[in-house]
Amino acid sequence: MRRKKLGFTMLVLLTMLALVAAGCGAKEQGGGPAPNSANTAGKTLDEIKKRGKLVVGVKYDTKLFGLKDPGTGVVEGFDIDIAKALAKKVLGDENKLDLKEVTSKTRIPMLKNGDIDMIIATMTITEERKQEVDFSDVYFKAGQSLLVKKGSPIKSIADIKKGMKVLTAKGSTSAQNIREKAPDATVLEFENYQEAFTALKAGQGDALTTDNAILYGMTKQDPNYQVTEGTFTDEPYGIAIRKGDTEFVTYVNDFLKAMKSSGEYDKLYEKWIGEKPAK
């Protein structure tokens, strides 16, 4: 009887140990200790310095902002260069940076549960999102538009008629906005923009909708597609930080201001967008 009880206690203890070990393992994936979790928000900057790495959530499928080359594994784009510049400022070395892939749908949950220190991923500042995260000042101004095959009769949002299929990504403002602006359209949502673009090319939709800057990236990937004239929303991008970490927001805003006044921001903008930012 006693032995049985002892055996049971051992089993419980071992199970608990295994659970703790599994938890640690998950957090350590991708190297180094995990960024701080929601309950230590307010200390992100200290954590980054202690850890010696900045962990940033970025897109892997968005040309011009964050695109991973499947051959080399290199991720590059405007958002990536901003992340590198920030790593340089915080840790003195742009390579002290861990990039983690986010999608429009996964980025806020990943920030909230401590997988990443911040989101730099074509993310629009909205009132709704401000309930869940804090944002830096605007670092890029986009607006929503449509991508269509060259020769398509769709010239603007007004041409989207009942029964037409418009493709976009889950968790994006693009999905919300298109339902408002073209309520008769059928909206199909994909896990990310490359999946949506693949579907467009396979003839599964009449148009793809998201920010014009992202759509321009797609026209570089396939010149048979074009962006329609004009935009029908404003999409100001911000860097998202865990809610309540005002010290880190201020730090990031100071960093953005310094980048702008040194001319580094304009250089990066021109490198990726191909023109100087509008004043």
Residue numbers at the binding site for ligand GLU (CB under 6 A): 104, 121-124, 169, 172-174, 210-211, 235
CA–CA separation, 26 and 215 (whole Å): 35
Q: Measured from the CB atom, is 136 or 210 closer to ligand GLU?
A: 210
Output the smallest distance, CB 166 to ligand GLU, in A: 14
* Least distance from ligand GLU to the Cβ atom of residue 119, Å: 9
Kindly state the smallest distance separating residue 233's Cβ from ligand GLU, in Å: 9
Closer by beta carbon to ligand GLU, 110 or else 169: 169
**Packing angle of the helix pair 44-51, 78-91 (nearest 10 deg):** 80
- In whole angstroms, what is the distance from residue 17 CA to residue 248 CA? 35
Look at strands 54-58 and 97-101 and give their pairing. parallel
Least spacing, CB of residue 20 vs ligand GLU, in Å? 35
DSSP-derived 3-state class of residue 204: coil
E strand or H helix that includes residue 165: strand 165-169
Least separation in angstroms between residue 90's CB and ligand GLU is 24
Pair 156, 229: CB distance under 8 Å: yes
Reduced to 3 states (helix: H, G, I; strand: E, B; else coil), residue 64 is: coil
Q: 55 or 125: whose CB is closer to ligand GLU? A: 125
Identity of the residue, 107 or 242, whose beta carbon is nearer to ligand GLU in the bound complex: 107
CB of 62 to ligand GLU, least distance (A): 7
Of 94 and 195, CB closest to ligand GLU: 195
**Residue number with CB closer to ligand GLU (104 or 228):** 104
Tokens for 50? Answer: 């202690």
Cα distances from 102 to residues 49, 119, 153, in angstroms, run: 23, 8, 34
